[in-house]
Amino acid sequence: MRRLILELFLLLAFMGVVYGLLEWRYRDYSIGLDGQYAQFRMEQTQAEVLFLGNSHIIPLKAASDSMRKVRSASLAFVGMDLFWTKVLLNRQQDALPRLKEVVLYADPEILGYNQTLHGQAWINRALYRYGDTLYNDRLSDRWMARSNFFRSNRDLSYLFRERNGSAELPIVRDRLSLPLDDTIACKVRAIENSRSRFDERLFPENLRYLNTILDCCKQHGWQVTLVRTPKRSTFLRYFEHAGIERARLKLDSLAKARGLFLFEPGWSVEDDRLIADPDHLLLDGAKRFLEELDSAKEHHARESGMGNPDSISFSITTGK
């Protein structure tokens, strides 16, 4: 018995040493999200426009910086769901003194998505230091979120990369990262977004988060523009449309009830060349998207008989 206790003690001591070494190894390790958040902190006090959502909206921020004079910031990270969108906006709402407009990603997919419940808990851990909360706020989850090692490694493939090896910024690209004829990647992504990481039972919960976000914007007097970015035609071919359409109807209804401007351009197959991978815009695609968005807002302002599109409450519209 004493021998068994000694062996267990030595095993625990060994595991403690290994864990301590891993924590030391990753003590200064940065992931891509850290760089993006640092950029947000540099821009937040001067920003008049905030791009809010997940990785699909990040190219719009880059395009805005290159073609507009207005200053902007991005509070958008890869895989971010509505829970974390709500948490981060709530935490930063008083640190945006010049903000006038929030461009919020409102694709139907987000209504059935939760990163923690859909195998993306590493994002939950990564964001913890910026929100001081977790979706599953258990002791074990907080321990992993506070751990340098577990925060820095989403899975075993990330384990011993060089410093910043996991810091690939997700999105802004000026050339295709996936050939236009690659149907397999589009199919896998479409099934993931509309089936394996989409659950209609999450609609009520995510609608509550979305309404909290919109209430926060209303409280501060920020104009809200809802956007849906284009996807490749091959991606849409493999989409599970029934659940997505039900989510679309709910979001459209919410936008109409709140008098919000919702923009979704109707791009054709030929426009796939402006989409870097199944569902992220190239920089040139993002520039075109913003041009069409600005044109749609100006058109709506004229139709409404009001000359300043930045000072009105928009109704729902689409580019289709």
14-23, 88-97, 307-316: the lowest-pLDDT one = 307-316
What pLDDT band is residue 320 in, cutting at 50, 70 and 90? very low
Report the top-level CATH class of 31-303. alpha beta
Q: Is the pLDDT of residue 319 over 90?
A: no
Task: Write the pLDDT tens digit of every residue in 34-50.
Answer: 889 999 999 999 999 99
pLDDT of residue 311: 36
What pLDDT band is residue 314 in, cutting at 50, 70 and 90? very low
What pLDDT band is residue 150 in, cutting at 50, 70 and 90? confident
Higher pLDDT, 151 or 265: 265
Q: Is the pLDDT of residue 241 over 50?
A: yes
Entry pTM: 0.86
Task: Write the pLDDT tens digit of every residue in 98-121.
Answer: 999 999 999 999 999 998 888 888
Q: Where are the domains of the chain?
A: 31-303
Given a contact cutoff of 8 angstroms between Cβ atoms, the answer to whether 225 and 263 are in contact is: yes
Task: Write the pLDDT tens digit of every residue in 277-312.
Answer: 999 999 999 999 999 999 999 888 887 765 444 433
